[in-house]
Every structure is written in C-alpha cells, then in structure tokens.
Amino acid sequence: MSGKTLYDKIWDAHVVAEQDGEAILYIDLHLIHEVTTPQAFAGLRAAGRPVRRPDRTLAVADHNVPTEGQALGVGAVADEEARLQLQTLERNVKEAGIEFFPMGDIRNGIVHVVGPEQGRTQPGMTIVCGDSHTSTHGAFGALAQGIGTSEVEHVLATQTLRQKKSKNLRVTVNGTPGPGVGAKDFALAIVGAIGTAGGTGSVIEYAGEAIRGLSMEGRMTLCNLAIEAGARAGLVAPDQTTFDYMMGRPATPKGAAWEMALAHWKTFFSDDDAVFDREVVLDAADIAPTVTWGTSPEDVVAVTGNVPAPESFATPDKRISAERALDYMGLTAGQPISEAKVDVVFIGSCTNSRIEDLRSAAAVAQHAFLNGRLVAPHVRAMVVPGSGLVKEQAEEEGLDAIFKAVGFDWREPGCSMCLGMNPDRLAPGERCASTSNRNFEGRQGRGGRTHLMSPAMAAAAAIAGHIVDVREMLK
C-alpha cells in the first residue's frame, strides 16, 4: 500500500463518521465575520439550536469596516447596512459566547491575518470560514476551506462539515527565484499555468525547494491564491519556519504542551511513497515578476511581456473572454504591459497585508525617497495593514513614516479595496495596481480595472505612475 499525502493524513484524523457516502468531518477552528454569518445565526435561532463549540470559534469584523475612524466605534459607521451587519455580528457572538475582536480592537483585522497571528491556526487542523480565501491557513499545514453560509450554520450547530474527499494535486516549485520574485509571483504563475479551474475538485499541496525557502507570510500568500486556481484548499507541510513563526503566540501551547504539540505537528507531511492524482512542476528561475492583464487571475503576463492577442488563445471561449477582457481593461493586444498607467495603488488584503509584505513595499518606497522620488502626482496610493497588530508593528519599525513620506495613505485594518464593500473603491475606468487576489470585472468598484501584483511591484507602480519592473527601479 502506498503512503499517505498530507491531505490524506489530516482528512483521516478528522473523520467522525460516514453517512450516505459523505464524511462527517470534525472542524477544529471556525473563523467567522460579519458578512456571511447573519443568516446562519438566524437559522440556528429559528431551529432552536445552540452553537456547539463557541470555544472553537473566533469572530472578527473585517469585510465592510471603514479604514479610518475605527476608534469611533460601530455606531459611527456611516453605511447603514454595514453598520447593521456589524451590530448583528456583535449581538450574535455575545449571545453564543464566542470570542470576538471588534472593530477598533488592536487584535482585530482581516480574518486570515488574525487567525495565524493569534496562534489559533495550527498544523494538522481543519479550519473553515465563510470566505473563499480561508485556503490561506493551509500555509501551516492545516486543511482550511471556504464554505457558504448554510455550511457556516452547519458547523456552528455540529462543529462538523459534511464532505466528500477531494483529489490530491501537488505543485512543486524547484530551484531558487531571481531577485524581485516572490510568493505572489509564484502564485500568479501557478494560476496562469493551470488555469482558474485547474485545481477544481482538488486540494493543492505546494512543495519543492522554492516553497521551503518562503517565509510564513509568503506561504500564506501562496495558499491564499489556491482558490484562484479553483482548489478549495492549499497546503504547505509544516517545518521549522512554521514552528518558529508560531512560538509564543497568544493561543499556541506553552512549555510541556508546546513539546507535545510539536511532536504531533511533525507527523503532518506527505510520505515519500504517497501518490498524487496529478503533479505540476515549475522552476522558480523561470518565474519573473508577474502581473495580470485581464479580468481573471489566470490572465497573467511577466512584467517584461506584452498584452496577449485574443487570437493566441486555443479555444473560441477563451478568445471571446480575452476580447471582452481587453475591452474592459482598456488595453490593446501587443502593447507592453509596462505601458499601463495606473491611477490607484492598493497595498493590502488577506493576500498581502502582513508585516513582511509591508516591509517589501516600504523598501521600494524608501529607495525611491532616497533617490528623490515620490508617488507619481496622478496616483492615489494606500496601504491597509492586515490587522491592528500588523499596523502597530509597522509603526514601531517606522514603515508608516516611509509610506507617508512618499505620499501613500496609511489606513486602518480591514478588507478594504480588495472587494470594496467599505468606502474604499475604484471609480469607473480607474486602473489599479493591487496586491489583492481578484481582478474580476467590478470587483474593486464598478468599471474599475485591477492588475494583481506583489507588494514590491505595487509600490514601484505607485512611484513610476505605471506598471513597472521593480528590478529596474531598484537598479
């Protein structure tokens, strides 16, 4: 018999029972936020069902919070519907006895930044949240998946999820990346290589030397974008990098319990003889700083490349989509992508708002400042830290001062312009260099044009006023 994959091991350790060919899978950690839970709590109330494990649940307010004036409290949120949703969450978690970091609490922030930061995210766990980017937590070797609101209600009531097992897909990135190339470029290159439906029905395990070389922040960026490749979950096996990141965080075990936990976590890796249903192999040396040109995360191009021609696509479907995307994005086939002038730069989101992301963007900003350059006059640029704690750390390191000195707006934490549920959004026709995860039509605001890229590339675009190769800028 062949060995088990990391996914197999986590899956097997959490199957409570089988019913009608579906597994009842135990959930170790349930993260919740204001947008995808009100209907779930209402459902529980209507059926007279209690929350089974409030202690395995953690709530934050992130999707529609404003990124300024948070200290004024929820009562001061101008958007009436957003305010009602935030107040509904507050009432629901209080009633159920669920730990909650409200808006303005320094521990609050984007749900996928907060879980790891607090040490609630741990290897070998099953984690769910009513948000597709829950895949982020897979960076710790946890099986983390986005679910819909009915499933949120199901998990609240039973602490389990009914599911059939997915397939095993391994994406190996060998070698060492060149300068200016990091996790975001890997992630975009992978989505470009396998397509937005390439991972459908699968869990992706990321492996290889280049993945091992990534920090936890980088691994989170990578797993965050697993969903953009169609996979509900991404995984990286835990190693010393993981344990070093976790040690001493509020919810991680301490002392003898740490040693016990560590021994357990170290069992979560794919056996050498494990069989994957599919394997994809890339070489890090082949990956350049990567940006998107179209309206799907698979529409990627190296920053040194040109906007593709619709005729270059294999199927009629893709050709039509490409034509529509070019029209929407206001680009011409064949033009160098670096010609695209940007109006807005957004550094933030559950993809890229952690301390290391902010450091890499700040390094570009600092380099520019020392060379007498500022954010281009026509560009509106903002940095939205992932949590109150990330913001505090960045301020201790003086990163906020660098950003502000070159002309970036320094905001308060939240999902912000990644999805524009709060007041931060694009106007029609505005072009944005964004560190977020989706370049869908209208995602950041109706008619808004999004180019996904790394924090360093976004910072460089803010300075240059157009998409630019960060390697050239740092020369």
Partner 1 sequence: MKAFTKLDARMAPLTMANIDTDQIIPKQFLKTVEREGLGKGLFYDFRFDEQGVEKADFVLNRAEYKGAGVLVAGDNFGCGSSREHAPWALLDFGISCVISSSFADIFYNNCFQNGLLPVVLKPEEVQALMEEAKGGNHVVTVDLEAQTVVSPSGAAFSFQIDPQRKAKMLQGLDAIGETLTAAMDIDVYESKRALSEPWLERA
CB-nearer residue toward partner 1: 318 or 373: 318
Q: Does 143 bind partner 1 (CB under 8 A)?
A: no
Report the residue from 9, 232, 367, 391 that binds partner 1 according to the rule CB under 8 A.
232
Residues 6+ apart with CB under 8 A from 45: none
CB-nearer residue toward partner 1: 1 or 47: 47
Q: Does 436 bind partner 1 (CB under 8 A)?
A: no
Report the residue from 157, 275, 363, 474 that binds partner 1 according to the rule CB under 8 A.
157
CB 75 within 8 A of CB 19: no
Q: Does 148 bind partner 1 (CB under 8 A)?
A: yes
CB 61 within 8 A of CB 50: no
Q: Does 412 bind partner 1 (CB under 8 A)?
A: no
Report the residue from 45, 94, 162, 341 that binds partner 1 according to the rule CB under 8 A.
162
How far is C-alpha 87 from the geometric centre of its chain's CA atoms?
25
How far is C-alpha 136 from the geometric centre of its chain's CA atoms?
6
Binding piece for partner 1, criterion CB under 8 A, among 65-73, 158-166, 180-188, 460-468:
158-166
Q: Does 364 bind partner 1 (CB under 8 A)?
A: no
CB 76 within 8 A of CB 186: no
CB-nearer residue toward partner 1: 36 or 360: 36
Report the residue from 212, 278, 318, 373 that binds partner 1 according to the rule CB under 8 A.
318
Q: Does 112 bind partner 1 (CB under 8 A)?
A: no
CB 168 within 8 A of CB 205: yes
CA atoms within 13 A on the CB side of 235: 31
Report the residue from 5, 118, 160, 221 that binds partner 1 according to the rule CB under 8 A.
160
- Helix ranges, 206-351 (H): 209-212, 216-224, 240-246, 256-265, 316-329
As a whole number of angstroms, the distance between CA 67 and CA 420 comes to 11
CB 100 within 8 A of CB 90: yes
| Minimum distance from residue 223 beta carbon to partner 1 (Å) | 15
Report the residue from 264, 341, 378, 404 that binds partner 1 according to the rule CB under 8 A.
264
CB-nearer residue toward partner 1: 111 or 364: 111
Q: Does 455 bind partner 1 (CB under 8 A)?
A: no
| Minimum distance from residue 261 beta carbon to partner 1 (Å) | 5
Report the residue from 69, 175, 178, 253 that binds partner 1 according to the rule CB under 8 A.
253
| Minimum distance from residue 85 beta carbon to partner 1 (Å) | 5
Q: Does 213 bind partner 1 (CB under 8 A)?
A: no
Q: Does 153 bind partner 1 (CB under 8 A)?
A: yes
CB-nearer residue toward partner 1: 99 or 283: 99
Residues 6+ apart with CB under 8 A from 318: none
SS3 228: helix
Q: Does 137 bind partner 1 (CB under 8 A)?
A: no
Report the residue from 9, 10, 28, 424 that binds partner 1 according to the rule CB under 8 A.
28
Question: Is the alpha carbon torsion for 447, 453, 457, 459 positive or negative?
Answer: positive
Q: Does 450 bind partner 1 (CB under 8 A)?
A: no
SS3 51: coil
As a whole number of angstroms, the distance between CA 404 and CA 329 comes to 29
Q: Does 55 bind partner 1 (CB under 8 A)?
A: yes
CB-nearer residue toward partner 1: 5 or 57: 57
Q: What is the DSSP letter of 131?
A: S
Chain residues 270-289 in contact with partner 1, contact rule CB under 8 A: none
CB-nearer residue toward partner 1: 98 or 358: 98
Chain residues 59-98 in contact with partner 1, contact rule CB under 8 A: 63-64, 79, 81-82, 84-85, 88
CB-nearer residue toward partner 1: 170 or 232: 232
Q: Does 330 bind partner 1 (CB under 8 A)?
A: no
As a whole number of angstroms, the distance between CA 280 and CA 186 comes to 13
Number of residues that bind partner 1 (CB under 8 A): 74
CB-nearer residue toward partner 1: 20 or 396: 20
DSSP string of 232-259, one letter each residue:
SEEE----HHHHHHHTT-TTS--THHHH
Report the residue from 19, 48, 396, 475 that binds partner 1 according to the rule CB under 8 A.
19
Distances (CA, A) of 188 to 82, 227, 356: 32, 12, 18
Question: Is the alpha carbon torsion for 283, 287, 292, 293 positive or negative?
Answer: negative
Question: Is the alpha carbon torsion for 201, 203, 209, 211 positive or negative?
Answer: positive
- Helix ranges, 71-215 (H): 80-96, 111-117, 149-158, 183-194, 209-212
Binding piece for partner 1, criterion CB under 8 A, among 179-187, 313-321, 341-349, 382-390:
313-321
Backbone angles phi, psi at 74, to 5 degrees: -60, -35
Q: Does 22 bind partner 1 (CB under 8 A)?
A: yes
SS3 120: coil
Q: Does 147 bind partner 1 (CB under 8 A)?
A: yes
